[in-house]
Structure 1
């Protein structure tokens, strides 16, 4: 082995210029690979942060089948009790209950179909950055009948803050249509065309009244103290909160394409 090493070293020294150029090329190539990989990992981490932090949350709890149908009757099983449990859960930093439904929204000029979210503004601040996206008005800080919509939807409906809108949605317990009037309290620009054109937000209590939910809701979005917990399929949390009629999923299950990209990085 020593003989081969001496021969190799002697051969390298025989043409120092060639050896230096070869070493430089290998070094630059390795540095480029490391740099490219670091950029790729950084970009992917940014995408994950955007996906989870803008509104979705790092994990969610639903009634089984709700995500497939958005059926108003499929509220989280024992939802109020789960919120009390989550308040004492050492892994969880914050959580926010949400009511969700398809709805029609109408202004004096136009109408559009939207995905309506009933949210608790205070709880939402710990899970998402939705409030930071408000560019006009405020984040459900005024009257109970306030509604927050995206800039794209506001443009389609030809409304501004202070204008009135009528929401129509199918209530739970029979699907009868329910209507209520709201006033535009805020307009958001999240950077997502789909979100800014298709979502509307009202207070959770108003959504529960409109949809005849009582004290129930359809989703619990949450953030862990360590986001790595959301990526751990063996975490007991998923069974603890996803047993029986409910299911608990981290962002890798909610956005599998991002999880697949993480696996390739």
Structure 2
């Protein structure tokens, strides 16, 4: 059976309109704001994002939490994201060196502390002073830490123990986790008697308690930088960054124990 030319042309036009509508819908979906953020930011950033949605009427951003090292590597491999929040300067510097961020958007947003934690019912005690021997406190147990070679929390913890002269005594008893929240979970579940995490992580889990806080001069300053990624074309990225730097998010960060810095990169 043959169809009149006009009918065929009409069908083709309808098909093109349908394809255009589908493309438009796909483009709209691609406007979803995608954030890569250090695992230790989860509680505070989830709350801040919810406040932003309520205030702006925008769709909720999609936030992927992991170790800063893993996120930076994912960006390098082409993973799509509009914003990167790192738990240290090193991995943001790495992203900048690979031309993965927009340098003029980079801000040192937050500061944190690292702490020694134990299960909430533990009777363990420790003094984080020169000569500290956590191996004696651990006994047959292990010290939960994020990966000490790549994950910021693990790097800070190792640096602090080295400065205090306690790393060599405990390095063979470390249980390394993929990120700081995984290390927190080992202690929370009672699978490790001690752990080193951010003070903000400890505050987020009632099943653990801080038994000592590391001296600030025992490790590099713990700074969380944020930047919009180089390939982001989502206008909401700049809007969300502005929100994170303002009073709308400040309470969410401070409630979790972060210190709000909000300084341009050149001031950090």
TM-score by length of 2: 0.30
User: Rg bigger for which structure?
Assistant: 1
Structure (1/2) with the larger strand percentage: 1
